[in-house]
Amino acid sequence: MIKAGVIGGTGYTGVELLRLLTAHPDASITVISSRSEKGARVCDVFPSLRGHVDLSFCDPDEADLAGCDVVFAATPNGVAMTHARALMDSGVRLIDLSADFRIRDIDEWGRWYQLEHACPELVAEAVYGLPEMNRERICDARLVANPGCYPTAVVLGLLPLLEQGLVDPQNLIADAKSGVSGAGRGAAVSSLLCEVSDSFKAYGVAGHRHLPEIRQGLAQVAGESVGLTFVPHLVPMIRGIEATLYARLLDTGVELTELYAERYADEPFVDVMPAGSHPDTRSVRGSNCLRLACHQPQDGGVAVILAVEDNLVKGAAGQAIQNMNLMFGFDETTGLQALPLSP
């Protein structure tokens, strides 16, 4: 049984981590920190955890994080990097769910996040925690940069095409939609029910913070820089991401569904649906599953890939636990076998 700590346990990602960790047979939650809820019982803040988590929130500066085997940082950007060096010097493995260690180019990271990195020397060591790409490296990692929600859907959606050199890497389009929980739990007018309900809009068209992360991941697969147009949208639902991906085929004779099914045949959390399917976000809600479907509409010159995931699970907390399982030699699916919620 390993000891797990959570820094920042009051956001949607944090409480999702707690929900999933309580069901994990090989991990015990020993520390949960929050400055805003210091001293409050976790089950009083989140009644859904009554009877499962008997801890109180503590100040992260006072928490015994060094006594943990693994710490999850479910914090705003710029926080995990202030804890990383001390944790790693204490032999604690860190899984960061923020963006502090995702982008290898420190200058580019600074431009997008408007911060100065507190420990740039650790960025090169951090392993990007997308198991379907970096499984072997994750197993040995001390520091894992858990991918963002949009990047998970987009990179896994385009990965087989780029790996095989079947599409023009300079002409990629990602049209993605997210539920409101992706904006976090902080109070904001843009997240109010009356603002979001009965409405649908694009945002971040000029540039979203996940864009450099997606480009980096796709370039790793393609072996060269990529040209990507990425447009996210906000839809009036709580959980879920749907990404419709477009890529111009260099070989129109390839059978896309067979290609994807073969590439992901051994991946426990990627489900390739029959050709012509249209997966919906409801089919993955509450699970660590990412579903894909392949299309070649009209003249067949463009591949259209549909990807759906739960942004709080495969797009965040579930993938973090998947990474923990790999890092500690557990079966990769441990604690993550729950079926999607329906309806």
Distance CA 236, CA 121 (A): 40
Q: Which of 58, 119, 149, 289 is catalytic?
A: 149
209 sits in the region (left: phi over 0; alpha: psi -120 to 50; else beta) called alpha
Strand intervals (E) in the chain: 2-7, 27-33, 70-73, 93-96, 127-128, 143-145, 167-178, 201-202, 228-234, 241-249, 270-272, 290-295, 302-309
Distance CA 213, CA 102 (A): 7
The bridge status of strand 2-7 relative to strand 70-73 is parallel
251: enclosing H helix or E strand: none
**Three-class secondary structure of residue 267 per DSSP:** coil
149 is catalytic: yes
Give 33's contacts (C-beta < 8 A, 6+ positions apart).
Answer: 5, 6, 7, 8, 9, 57, 58, 59, 60, 63, 65
Q: Where in the sequence numbering do the catalytic residues fall? A: 149
